[in-house]
Structure 1
Amino acid sequence: MPKISEATVAAHRARQLRTLLDAARALVAEEGIEALSLAALARRVGLSRPSLYEYFRSKDDLVAAVVEEELPRWASLVEQALAGPDDLGGKVAAYIRAQLEVMTDGRHAAAVALVEHALAEPALERIRDGHAQLLRPLVAALEESGVPEPALRAELVQGLVDAAARLAQRDPSNAEAVIDATLAQAVRGLA
């Protein structure tokens, strides 16, 4: 029977899960999404692969767990950004800037790579739920301003953000120019 390193089994499992998620994020940040597997994670943390199945049923389950943990923090940054401006253009610009800064600053590289990873259901559904948190403040700002079809418009803005993030990630030295061009395009496109 494995030894636990905390006062309770629940505390041990919570600490072990934290270790696994941190190691998975580090593995993706260092070596890319292709390097992430349950076997690679087991090697990194010194556990047997069967032990990982107590936490994750598959790579997709692992990816979803990492992204699920990151998305609330990401959503909080977006909400904080939208709290500042009073006008719709300022709110859309704040949304885009916050999203693109998160997607290009390197701190969230693992989550960005994992979000873009092709997942099977039901892991994909778990990610969609978290992604909806990111859109809520923008949808609310569009609704408050009377923009028709706010959910559709928010998805279109997010599509622009996703495309801009891919461009900025290809050439990080051009990230600020990509952010500026995206802001100009999105804000003018609302009129």
Structure 2
Amino acid sequence: MPRIRGASIGEHHEMVWDGLAQAIRELLGERDYDAITMGHIAERTGLARNTLYNYGRDKSALILALTERAGRPTVAQVAATARSDRNAADRMREIIAIVLEAFRDPALQLMFRPGSLPNPFHAIVAEVENVVRDGIARGEFHQVADVSLAVELLSGVMRAGAERIGRDPSALAATTGAAREIILAGLTR
């Protein structure tokens, strides 16, 4: 029977998830994503391969679960910012900074690989749509016919920014500034 790492089953699972995320970060520093196998992940975390399959039926499912878990603090920060009573442009500036900062984490950058899994950050998109709608209602942003489409198009700017930061983490400040400029130019009057 496998040994429990924590004081409880819940604590054990949290420790295993933390170890899985760290293993992915380390492995991505050593090799291309496609060259990483479930065997590599199991070996790096010290888990038996059959135990690893309890956390994801395959590498794609495991990575989806890891990106969702790694993204939870970002989702919470974005939600708190989006729901504040500040003006819409200030909320959008802060959301851009929060999201791009999060993409310094290689585990989150995986969602942008070609042919990647569904985006685990639908909650962020929904919060951004609400900020845009609020900005329109307050007269801060110009009217757009389709808010969802506008946010989807603007998310391309964020994706490009996240990819740039993934290649060059020192570009965070410049990339955040450029993303703010482009996105707010598309929204403000």
Q: TM-score range by the shorter chain?
A: 0.7 to 0.9
Deviation, structure 1 residue 136: 1.8
Matched, 1:160 2:157: yes
Percentage of matched positions with identical amino acids: 23
Cα distance change, pair 178–5 in 1 and its aligned pair in 2 (3 A): closer
Deviation, structure 1 residue 64: 1.0
Residue 117 of structure 1 corresponds to which residue in structure 2? 113
**C-alpha contact (below 8 Å) 1:97/1:179 kept by paired residues:** yes
Deviation, structure 1 residue 3: 4.4
Matched, 1:180 2:177: yes
Q: Deviations over 1:66-117 (max 9, x none)?
A: 01212221111222343557223222222212211222xx3x22222x2123
Give 1:75-114 correspondences, 5 Å limit: 75-83=75-83, 86-103=86-103, 106=104, 108-112=105-109, 114=110
**C-alpha contact (below 8 Å) 2:82/2:130 kept by paired residues:** no
**C-alpha contact (below 8 Å) 2:112/2:159 kept by paired residues:** no
Could you tell me which runs of 5 or more consecutive residues in structure 2 were left unpaired when the two chains were aligned: 137-142
**C-alpha contact (below 8 Å) 1:26/1:110 kept by paired residues:** yes
Matched residue pairs, number? 180
**C-alpha contact (below 8 Å) 2:75/2:124 kept by paired residues:** yes
Of the candidates 129, 133, 138, which is equivalent to residue 123 of structure 2? 133
Which residue type is aligned with residue 165 of structure 1?
A: A
Deviation, structure 1 residue 59: 0.5
Cα distance in 2 for partners of 1:7, 1:176 equals 41
Matched, 1:142 2:132: yes
Cα distance in 2 for partners of 1:91, 1:37 equals 40
Give the TM-score taking structure 1 as reference length. Answer: 0.76
Cα distance change, pair 77–29 in 1 and its aligned pair in 2 (3 A): farther
Deviation, structure 1 residue 161: 0.9
Cα distance change, pair 181–17 in 1 and its aligned pair in 2 (3 A): same
Give the TM-score taking structure 2 as reference length. Answer: 0.77
- The alignment yields a C-alpha RMSD, in angstroms, of 2.8
